[in-house]
Structure 1
Amino acid sequence: MTPLDVVTPPVVLGDDAQSRALADRLGLVVVETPGGDDLWLRYGEHGLELGGDRRQFGAPIRADLVGGGVAHRRQFGGGRGQLIARACGLKQGVSPEIIDATAGLGRDSAVLASLGSPVLMIERHPVVAALLLDALERAGAIEALKPLTQRLRFAQGDSSQTLSALVAASGVTPQVIHLDPMYPHQDKSALVKKEMRLFRRLVGDDVDTAQLLTQALDTATHRVVVKRPKGAPPIEGPPPSHDIVSKNSRYDLYVHRSLKPSR
Structure 2
Amino acid sequence: MPERYQLVQTPARLELHDTHGPKVGAVYVDFVEGKAQHRRKFGGGKGQDIAKAIGLHKFKHPYVIDATAGLGRESFVLATLGCTVILLERSPIVYALLADGLQRALASDDAESVAIASRMTLHQADALAWLKTVSADALPDVVYLDPMFPERQKSALVQKEMRFFHAVVGADEDSDALLELAIQQATRRVVVKRPRHAPELQGIKPAFVIAGKAVRYDVYLGKATAQEHAHQE
| Partner of residue 244, structure 1 | 210
Residues 145-224 of structure 1 mapped to structure 2, 5 A cutoff: 145-165=113-133, 167-168=134-135, 172-188=138-154, 191-224=157-190
| Partner of residue 34, structure 2 | 68
* Distance in structure 2 (CA, Å) of the matches to 1:89 and 1:54: 43
Pair 1:45-2:11 in alignment: yes
Amino acid at match of 1:121: L
* Distance in structure 2 (CA, Å) of the matches to 1:195 and 1:104: 10
Q: 1:125 aligns with which of 91, 95, 119?
A: 91
Q: Kindly tell me: are residues 187 and 112 of structure 1, through their superposed partners in 2, closer, same or farther at Cα, counting changes over 3 Å?
A: same
TM-aligned CA deviation for residue 164 of structure 1: 2.6
Moved more, 216-225 or 230-239: 230-239
Report percent identity of matched pairs: 45
TM-aligned CA deviation for residue 63 of structure 1: 1.2
| Partner of residue 66, structure 2 | 100
| Partner of residue 227, structure 1 | 193
Task: Verify the 8 A CA contact 1:183 1:206 in the aligned structure 2.
Answer: yes
* Distance in structure 1 (CA, Å) of the matches to 2:209 and 2:23: 33
Unpaired segments ≥5 residues, structure 1: 1-7, 11-37
Amino acid at match of 1:221: T
Q: 1:115 aligns with which of 73, 81, 84?
A: 81
Amino acid at match of 1:115: L
Amino acid at match of 2:120: L
Amino acid at match of 2:18: G
Amino acid at match of 1:159: A
* Distance in structure 2 (CA, Å) of the matches to 1:95 and 1:158: 25
Task: Verify the 8 A CA contact 2:67 2:127 in the aligned structure 1.
Answer: yes
**TM-score, normalization by structure 2:** 0.88
TM-aligned CA deviation for residue 255 of structure 1: 1.4
TM-aligned CA deviation for residue 224 of structure 1: 0.1
Unpaired segments ≥5 residues, structure 2: 229-233
Q: Kindly tell me: are residues 188 and 208 of structure 1, through their superposed partners in 2, closer, same or farther at Cα, counting changes over 3 Å?
A: farther
* Distance in structure 1 (CA, Å) of the matches to 2:186 and 2:42: 30
- In the comparison of the two structures, how many residue pairs are matched? 223
Q: 2:51 aligns with which of 85, 106, 110?
A: 85
**SS of alignment partner, residue 250 of structure 1:** strand
